[in-house]
Homo-oligomer: A and B are copies of this chain.
Amino acid sequence: METLSTNKAHGGVQGVYRHASTSTGTDMTFSIFVPPHDAGAKLPVLWYLSGLTCTHANVTEKGEYRAACAEHGIIFIAPDTSPRGDDVPDDEGYDFGKGAGFYVDATEQPWATHYRMRSYIEDELPALIAAEFPMADMARQGITGHSMGGHGALTIGLRNPDRFRSISAFAPIASPLHCPWGEKALGGYLGDDRATWRAYDACALIDDGARVPELLVDQGDADNFLTEQLKPELLQTACAHAGIDLTLRMQPGYDHSYYFIATFLAGHVGWHAERLKRG
A interface with B by C-beta (< 8 Å): 7-11, 14, 61-62, 64, 66-67, 220, 222, 253-255, 257-260, 262-263, 266
Contacts and interface: CB of A to CB of B under 8 A. Distances in A.
A69 to B, nearest CB: 12
A259 B64 contact: no
A71 to B, nearest CB: 12
A9 B262 contact: yes
Contact of A259 (B14, B220, B266): B14
Contacts of A222: 8
Nearest to A261: B9
Given A61-B62, A62-B61, A257 B67 contact: no
Nearest to A253: B8
B263 A10 contact: yes
Interface of A is mostly: mixed
B61 A61 contact: yes
B67 A9 contact: no
27 contacts: A7-B257, A7-B259, A7-B260, A8-B220, A8-B222, A8-B254, A8-B255, A8-B259, A8-B260, A8-B263, A9-B259, A9-B262, A9-B263, A10-B262, A10-B263, A11-B263, A14-B259, A61-B61, A61-B62, A61-B258, A64-B64, A64-B66, A64-B67, A64-B262, A66-B262, A66-B263, A67-B266
Contacts of A257: 7
A266 B253 CA distance: 24
A106 to B, nearest CB: 32
A61 B258 CA distance: 9
Nearest to A262: B9
A249 B279 CA distance: 39
A66 B258 CA distance: 13
A246 to B, nearest CB: 23
A153 B220 CA distance: 36
Contacts of A67: 64, 266
Contacts of A254: 8
A8 B258 CA distance: 10
A255 B7 contact: yes
Contacts of A11: 263
A255 to B, nearest CB: 6
Nearest to A222: B8
